[in-house]
Amino acid sequence: MSSLLLALALAALPAVVLIWYFYHLDKARSEPIGLILRSVLYGFVAVIPAAGIEFGIGALVPPPGGALGVLFEAFVIAGLVEESVKLYFVRRYIFIRPEFNERTDGIIYAICVSLGFAFIENFIYGHDVPSILFVRAFTAVPGHAVFSGVMGYYVGMAKLEEGRAGAWKRGLFWAVLLHGLYDALLMAGGPASYLVIPLLIFGWRLLKRLFAKAQAADSERLGGGRGL
């Protein structure tokens, strides 16, 4: 029992730290805690349809062998399916909320959904091997935040910029690209797997730039106030 609790704590800790970080990064106009927690719960639930779709695709369309098989699993089964499911929960349940009234909100809520997803995935992969949880704390978990956070920037744009209702499609493209590259490098193994580190650094810097850009746009539109 104690080992199970330890595994749960280790799986949750990196997600909690990242949620706290981005919540406080947006502290001037922070989001309601209740909706933050609900977004994380949506991420928990999102694991179920994602796993079902991935299993279904694997059964109906067996991946080709070799490099094509690696790319198919990385970009389609992992990247496209997981990011599409996370995007569905953001657009279906959070996008319509009145609290979603800034560009930065798209990033915050997408990250919360992604980290709820990452916590469950983290626990599944590493509940009996603490070393796996430790490695994933610095790779897969921030990776999920980066992939979906970049996507969330475009979701915020889709809601708040006139004539940009389809911007979320661009966000999905970037999320799938980053997620697919991450998985492909790990699946390739050997020296290629170490390239996930510069990829994550690039993704983190991109996310921080987009977050700052969204905050500047929100401040200009709201004149430093909160809400519409």
For residue 171, give the 3-state DSSP assignment.
helix
pLDDT the model gives residue 174 = 97
pTM for the model:
0.92
Assign residue 227 a region (left: φ > 0; alpha: ψ between -120 and 50; beta: otherwise).
left
Q: Buried b / exposed e across 212-222, counting CB within 10 Å, b at 16+?
A: eebbebbeeee
Distance CA 50, CA 54 (A): 6
pLDDT the model gives residue 161 = 86
Query: What residue ranges do the domains of the chain occupy?
Result: 2-222
Per-residue pLDDT of the chain (228 residues; tens, 9 = 90+): 577 888 888 889 999 999 999 998 887 788 899 999 999 999 999 999 999 999 999 888 877 778 898 999 999 999 999 999 999 999 999 999 999 999 999 999 999 999 999 999 999 988 788 889 899 999 999 999 999 999 999 999 999 988 888 999 999 999 999 999 999 999 999 999 999 999 999 999 999 999 999 999 998 877 644 443
CA angle 10, 14, 17 (to 5 degrees): 125
Nearest to 16 by CA among 125, 100, 118: 118
Distance CA 140, CA 182 (A): 9
DSSP 102: S
pLDDT the model gives residue 8 = 86
pLDDT the model gives residue 228 = 35
